[in-house]
Amino acid sequence: MKNLLKSAKFRMLIATFVSLSFVIYPRMGTSPVAMAAGVALRSESQVTSEAALYDSAMRTIEQALTIKLQTVDDVKVANSLLEKQMPNLKFNRSKLAQIAMSDATFVGAVAERIKDSKATDAFAIELAGDPNTILKLNGATSLADRLQRKVETDVTLIRKVATRLQQSAADLKAKIKQNHVSRSDALLSEKAIPPVAPTPMFRLDGVVFLVTVAVVLNPGLGIALFAVASGPLAVAVVAGLLIGKLVENLGTDKGKDKVAQCQAAVDANYQSCVKGTADDCCGLAIIGAEACLAIWMFDSAGCLLS
Protein backbone atom coordinates (compact mmCIF):
# COMPACT_ATOMS: atom_id res chain seq x y z
CA MET A 1 0.00 0.00 0.00
CA LYS A 2 2.84 2.38 0.86
CA ASN A 3 4.44 1.69 -2.50
CA LEU A 4 1.14 2.39 -4.18
CA LEU A 5 0.78 5.74 -2.41
CA LYS A 6 4.31 6.70 -3.50
CA SER A 7 3.85 5.67 -7.11
CA ALA A 8 3.74 8.41 -9.73
CA LYS A 9 0.85 6.66 -11.48
CA PHE A 10 -1.28 6.69 -8.34
CA ARG A 11 -0.48 10.34 -7.64
CA MET A 12 -1.41 11.23 -11.21
CA LEU A 13 -4.71 9.34 -10.83
CA ILE A 14 -5.60 11.24 -7.67
CA ALA A 15 -4.57 14.57 -9.18
CA THR A 16 -6.75 13.83 -12.20
CA PHE A 17 -9.69 12.92 -9.95
CA VAL A 18 -9.42 16.11 -7.92
CA SER A 19 -9.05 18.20 -11.08
CA LEU A 20 -12.06 16.55 -12.70
CA SER A 21 -14.16 17.26 -9.62
CA PHE A 22 -13.71 20.96 -10.34
CA VAL A 23 -14.41 20.51 -14.04
CA ILE A 24 -17.61 18.62 -13.31
CA TYR A 25 -18.62 21.28 -10.78
CA PRO A 26 -17.30 24.48 -12.43
CA ARG A 27 -17.41 27.99 -11.04
CA MET A 28 -20.81 29.35 -12.02
CA GLY A 29 -22.77 32.56 -11.60
CA THR A 30 -21.80 35.40 -9.32
CA SER A 31 -22.22 33.64 -5.98
CA PRO A 32 -19.17 34.29 -3.76
CA VAL A 33 -18.95 30.58 -2.97
CA ALA A 34 -19.04 29.56 -6.63
CA MET A 35 -16.59 32.23 -7.77
CA ALA A 36 -14.15 32.27 -4.89
CA ALA A 37 -14.13 28.70 -3.62
CA GLY A 38 -14.45 26.92 -6.94
CA VAL A 39 -17.38 24.97 -5.48
CA ALA A 40 -20.69 25.38 -7.31
CA LEU A 41 -22.91 25.70 -4.25
CA ARG A 42 -26.07 27.71 -3.79
CA SER A 43 -25.69 31.14 -2.23
CA GLU A 44 -27.20 31.96 1.16
CA SER A 45 -29.89 34.13 -0.45
CA GLN A 46 -30.79 31.39 -2.93
CA VAL A 47 -31.10 28.89 -0.11
CA THR A 48 -33.54 31.21 1.68
CA SER A 49 -35.76 31.79 -1.36
CA GLU A 50 -35.81 28.11 -2.32
CA ALA A 51 -36.62 27.06 1.24
CA ALA A 52 -39.73 29.26 1.04
CA LEU A 53 -40.83 27.40 -2.11
CA TYR A 54 -40.34 24.07 -0.35
CA ASP A 55 -42.40 25.29 2.61
CA SER A 56 -45.19 26.28 0.23
CA ALA A 57 -45.15 22.80 -1.33
CA MET A 58 -45.35 21.07 2.04
CA ARG A 59 -48.21 23.31 3.20
CA THR A 60 -50.21 22.39 0.09
CA ILE A 61 -49.45 18.70 0.56
CA GLU A 62 -50.61 18.90 4.15
CA GLN A 63 -53.87 20.53 3.00
CA ALA A 64 -54.42 17.53 0.75
CA LEU A 65 -54.90 15.40 3.87
CA THR A 66 -58.35 16.95 4.33
CA ILE A 67 -59.33 18.37 0.91
CA LYS A 68 -62.52 16.91 -0.58
CA LEU A 69 -61.96 14.01 -2.97
CA GLN A 70 -65.50 12.72 -3.31
CA THR A 71 -66.19 13.67 -6.93
CA VAL A 72 -64.26 13.99 -10.17
CA ASP A 73 -64.53 17.78 -9.84
CA ASP A 74 -63.02 17.58 -6.33
CA VAL A 75 -60.14 15.54 -7.71
CA LYS A 76 -59.61 18.00 -10.54
CA VAL A 77 -59.14 20.82 -8.02
CA ALA A 78 -56.79 18.74 -5.86
CA ASN A 79 -54.74 17.65 -8.87
CA SER A 80 -54.30 21.25 -9.99
CA LEU A 81 -53.16 22.43 -6.54
CA LEU A 82 -50.63 19.65 -6.09
CA GLU A 83 -49.29 19.71 -9.65
CA LYS A 84 -48.12 23.29 -9.13
CA GLN A 85 -46.29 22.51 -5.92
CA MET A 86 -44.80 19.04 -6.33
CA PRO A 87 -41.76 20.14 -8.41
CA ASN A 88 -40.72 22.41 -5.51
CA LEU A 89 -39.88 19.37 -3.43
CA LYS A 90 -36.54 19.49 -5.26
CA PHE A 91 -35.63 22.30 -2.84
CA ASN A 92 -35.60 19.97 0.16
CA ARG A 93 -31.87 20.45 0.74
CA SER A 94 -32.30 24.23 0.65
CA LYS A 95 -34.94 23.89 3.37
CA LEU A 96 -32.60 21.81 5.51
CA ALA A 97 -29.82 24.33 4.95
CA GLN A 98 -32.14 27.19 5.94
CA ILE A 99 -32.92 25.37 9.20
CA ALA A 100 -29.20 24.96 9.88
CA MET A 101 -28.45 28.58 9.01
CA SER A 102 -31.08 29.66 11.52
CA ASP A 103 -29.41 27.72 14.32
CA ALA A 104 -27.54 30.43 16.22
CA THR A 105 -25.55 27.93 18.30
CA PHE A 106 -24.13 26.08 15.30
CA VAL A 107 -23.55 29.22 13.23
CA GLY A 108 -21.75 30.85 16.16
CA ALA A 109 -19.61 27.77 16.73
CA VAL A 110 -18.50 27.74 13.09
CA ALA A 111 -17.72 31.46 13.20
CA GLU A 112 -15.53 30.88 16.25
CA ARG A 113 -13.49 28.23 14.43
CA ILE A 114 -12.82 30.50 11.42
CA LYS A 115 -12.31 33.85 13.15
CA ASP A 116 -9.23 34.56 11.04
CA SER A 117 -7.48 33.14 7.98
CA LYS A 118 -5.04 31.06 10.01
CA ALA A 119 -7.87 29.47 12.00
CA THR A 120 -9.86 28.88 8.81
CA ASP A 121 -6.97 27.06 7.16
CA ALA A 122 -6.47 24.91 10.26
CA PHE A 123 -10.17 24.04 10.41
CA ALA A 124 -10.18 23.12 6.71
CA ILE A 125 -7.26 20.74 7.25
CA GLU A 126 -9.09 19.14 10.17
CA LEU A 127 -12.23 18.66 8.08
CA ALA A 128 -10.23 17.21 5.21
CA GLY A 129 -8.58 14.74 7.59
CA ASP A 130 -11.84 13.83 9.31
CA PRO A 131 -15.15 15.48 8.32
CA ASN A 132 -16.64 14.23 11.61
CA THR A 133 -14.74 17.11 13.21
CA ILE A 134 -17.80 19.24 12.42
CA LEU A 135 -19.77 17.30 15.05
CA LYS A 136 -17.44 18.57 17.77
CA LEU A 137 -18.87 22.06 17.33
CA ASN A 138 -21.45 23.32 19.80
CA GLY A 139 -24.96 22.28 18.78
CA ALA A 140 -23.85 20.30 15.71
CA THR A 141 -25.03 16.85 16.83
CA SER A 142 -28.46 18.05 17.97
CA LEU A 143 -28.84 20.03 14.73
CA ALA A 144 -27.99 16.97 12.61
CA ASP A 145 -30.64 15.00 14.51
CA ARG A 146 -33.19 17.77 13.94
CA LEU A 147 -32.51 17.75 10.21
CA GLN A 148 -32.92 13.97 10.16
CA ARG A 149 -36.31 14.24 11.88
CA LYS A 150 -37.40 16.89 9.37
CA VAL A 151 -36.71 14.55 6.44
CA GLU A 152 -38.55 11.67 8.11
CA THR A 153 -41.56 13.84 9.00
CA ASP A 154 -41.89 15.19 5.47
CA VAL A 155 -41.54 11.76 3.88
CA THR A 156 -44.25 10.38 6.16
CA LEU A 157 -46.62 13.25 5.29
CA ILE A 158 -46.08 12.91 1.53
CA ARG A 159 -46.68 9.17 1.65
CA LYS A 160 -49.82 9.63 3.72
CA VAL A 161 -51.27 12.00 1.14
CA ALA A 162 -50.22 9.70 -1.71
CA THR A 163 -52.08 6.83 -0.05
CA ARG A 164 -55.19 9.00 0.24
CA LEU A 165 -55.03 9.90 -3.46
CA GLN A 166 -54.51 6.26 -4.36
CA GLN A 167 -57.61 5.22 -2.40
CA SER A 168 -59.66 8.08 -3.86
CA ALA A 169 -58.74 7.08 -7.41
CA ALA A 170 -59.72 3.47 -6.73
CA ASP A 171 -63.04 4.47 -5.12
CA LEU A 172 -64.04 6.84 -7.92
CA LYS A 173 -63.07 4.35 -10.58
CA ALA A 174 -65.34 1.78 -8.96
CA LYS A 175 -68.28 4.20 -9.19
CA ILE A 176 -67.96 4.69 -12.94
CA LYS A 177 -69.82 2.03 -14.87
CA GLN A 178 -68.13 1.16 -18.14
CA ASN A 179 -68.84 -1.20 -21.00
CA HIS A 180 -65.37 -1.06 -22.42
CA VAL A 181 -61.81 -1.27 -21.19
CA SER A 182 -60.01 2.06 -21.21
CA ARG A 183 -56.39 2.94 -20.88
CA SER A 184 -57.20 4.38 -17.45
CA ASP A 185 -58.31 0.91 -16.35
CA ALA A 186 -54.97 -0.45 -17.46
CA LEU A 187 -53.09 2.35 -15.72
CA LEU A 188 -54.90 1.88 -12.42
CA SER A 189 -54.32 -1.87 -12.43
CA GLU A 190 -50.82 -2.13 -13.89
CA LYS A 191 -49.46 0.76 -11.88
CA ALA A 192 -51.32 0.00 -8.69
CA ILE A 193 -49.33 1.28 -5.72
CA PRO A 194 -48.76 -1.16 -2.87
CA PRO A 195 -49.65 -0.18 0.69
CA VAL A 196 -47.16 2.23 2.18
CA ALA A 197 -44.39 0.50 4.09
CA PRO A 198 -42.98 2.08 7.24
CA THR A 199 -40.40 4.77 6.55
CA PRO A 200 -37.15 2.87 5.87
CA MET A 201 -34.13 3.35 8.02
CA PHE A 202 -32.39 6.32 6.48
CA ARG A 203 -29.75 8.66 7.79
CA LEU A 204 -29.09 12.03 6.25
CA ASP A 205 -25.33 12.46 5.94
CA GLY A 206 -25.45 15.08 8.66
CA VAL A 207 -21.67 15.42 8.81
CA VAL A 208 -21.26 16.36 5.16
CA PHE A 209 -24.43 18.46 5.18
CA LEU A 210 -23.25 20.57 8.11
CA VAL A 211 -19.89 21.09 6.41
CA THR A 212 -21.80 22.19 3.30
CA VAL A 213 -23.80 24.73 5.30
CA ALA A 214 -20.62 26.01 6.93
CA VAL A 215 -19.10 26.60 3.47
CA VAL A 216 -22.21 28.39 2.17
CA LEU A 217 -22.20 30.67 5.21
CA ASN A 218 -18.43 31.18 5.10
CA PRO A 219 -16.98 31.12 1.56
CA GLY A 220 -13.48 31.46 3.01
CA LEU A 221 -13.78 27.94 4.38
CA GLY A 222 -14.52 26.72 0.85
CA ILE A 223 -11.40 28.45 -0.41
CA ALA A 224 -9.37 26.76 2.30
CA LEU A 225 -10.82 23.32 1.46
CA PHE A 226 -10.04 23.93 -2.20
CA ALA A 227 -6.43 24.70 -1.24
CA VAL A 228 -6.21 21.52 0.85
CA ALA A 229 -7.52 19.47 -2.10
CA SER A 230 -4.70 20.87 -4.21
CA GLY A 231 -2.05 20.16 -1.58
CA PRO A 232 -0.28 17.10 -0.14
CA LEU A 233 -1.71 13.72 -1.08
CA ALA A 234 -2.31 12.71 2.54
CA VAL A 235 -5.38 14.96 2.82
CA ALA A 236 -6.01 15.93 -0.81
CA VAL A 237 -7.96 12.75 -1.57
CA VAL A 238 -10.42 13.20 1.32
CA ALA A 239 -10.72 16.92 0.63
CA GLY A 240 -11.48 16.26 -3.05
CA LEU A 241 -14.15 13.72 -2.17
CA LEU A 242 -15.60 16.04 0.44
CA ILE A 243 -15.88 18.90 -2.05
CA GLY A 244 -17.70 16.61 -4.48
CA LYS A 245 -20.15 15.65 -1.73
CA LEU A 246 -20.82 19.30 -0.93
CA VAL A 247 -22.15 19.77 -4.45
CA GLU A 248 -24.27 16.61 -4.16
CA ASN A 249 -25.90 18.17 -1.11
CA LEU A 250 -26.41 21.76 -2.22
CA GLY A 251 -25.30 22.20 -5.83
CA THR A 252 -26.44 25.10 -7.98
CA ASP A 253 -29.22 24.86 -10.56
CA LYS A 254 -26.73 23.74 -13.21
CA GLY A 255 -24.87 21.42 -10.86
CA LYS A 256 -28.01 19.99 -9.28
CA ASP A 257 -27.87 18.24 -5.94
CA LYS A 258 -28.94 14.60 -5.71
CA VAL A 259 -32.51 15.36 -4.61
CA ALA A 260 -33.05 17.83 -7.47
CA GLN A 261 -31.70 15.36 -10.01
CA CYS A 262 -34.00 12.63 -8.70
CA GLN A 263 -36.99 14.98 -8.66
CA ALA A 264 -36.40 16.02 -12.29
CA ALA A 265 -36.68 12.37 -13.37
CA VAL A 266 -39.77 11.81 -11.22
CA ASP A 267 -41.46 14.93 -12.65
CA ALA A 268 -40.81 13.70 -16.20
CA ASN A 269 -42.30 10.29 -15.37
CA TYR A 270 -45.44 11.99 -14.05
CA GLN A 271 -45.90 13.97 -17.25
CA SER A 272 -45.56 10.78 -19.28
CA CYS A 273 -48.03 8.98 -17.02
CA VAL A 274 -50.66 11.73 -17.36
CA LYS A 275 -50.21 11.89 -21.11
CA GLY A 276 -51.16 8.23 -21.30
CA THR A 277 -54.59 8.91 -19.78
CA ALA A 278 -55.36 12.28 -21.38
CA ASP A 279 -57.80 10.93 -24.01
CA ASP A 280 -59.92 8.82 -21.68
CA CYS A 281 -63.56 9.74 -21.30
CA CYS A 282 -66.14 9.98 -18.58
CA GLY A 283 -63.88 11.52 -15.96
CA LEU A 284 -61.38 8.70 -16.21
CA ALA A 285 -58.66 11.03 -17.47
CA ILE A 286 -58.89 13.00 -14.23
CA ILE A 287 -58.98 9.85 -12.13
CA GLY A 288 -56.03 8.50 -14.08
CA ALA A 289 -54.15 11.73 -13.43
CA GLU A 290 -54.90 11.32 -9.72
CA ALA A 291 -53.41 7.83 -9.82
CA CYS A 292 -50.35 9.24 -11.59
CA LEU A 293 -50.14 11.94 -8.94
CA ALA A 294 -50.13 9.32 -6.19
CA ILE A 295 -47.23 7.56 -7.93
CA TRP A 296 -45.49 10.93 -8.32
CA MET A 297 -45.77 11.60 -4.61
CA PHE A 298 -44.47 8.19 -3.60
CA ASP A 299 -41.51 8.59 -5.93
CA SER A 300 -40.86 12.16 -4.72
CA ALA A 301 -40.80 10.95 -1.12
CA GLY A 302 -38.15 8.49 -2.23
CA CYS A 303 -36.13 11.35 -3.68
CA LEU A 304 -35.97 13.03 -0.27
CA LEU A 305 -34.25 9.89 0.94
CA SER A 306 -31.53 10.19 -1.71
Average pLDDT over residues 271-284: 79
Q: Greater confidence, 73 or 28?
A: 73
pLDDT band at 33 (very low <50, low <70, confident <90, very high): very low
CB 25 within 8 A of CB 39: yes
What is the pLDDT at residue 192? Answer: 46
Asked if pLDDT for residue 182 goes beyond 90, the answer is no
Is 160 in contact with 65 (CB distance < 8 Å)? yes
Domain with 132 in it: 2-304
Task: Say yes or no to pLDDT of 21 above 50.
Answer: no
Q: What is the pTM of this model?
A: 0.81
- pLDDT surpasses 90 at 253: no
Radius of gyration over every alpha carbon of the chain, rounded to an integer in angstroms = 23
Q: What was the pLDDT predicted at 282?
A: 66
Is residue 280 pLDDT above 80, yes or no? no
| Structure confidence by residue, pLDDT tens digits, 226-236 | 888 887 766 77
- Condensed to tens digits (0 to 9), the pLDDT of residues 54-104 reads 999 999 999 999 999 999 999 999 999 999 999 999 999 999 999 999 999
In degrees rounded to 5, what are phi and psi of residue 161? -65, -40
Domain count, the chain: 1
- Give the chain's mean pLDDT: 81
* Cα distance between residue 301 and residue 292, in whole Å: 14
Least confident of 193-197, 235-239, 292-296: 193-197
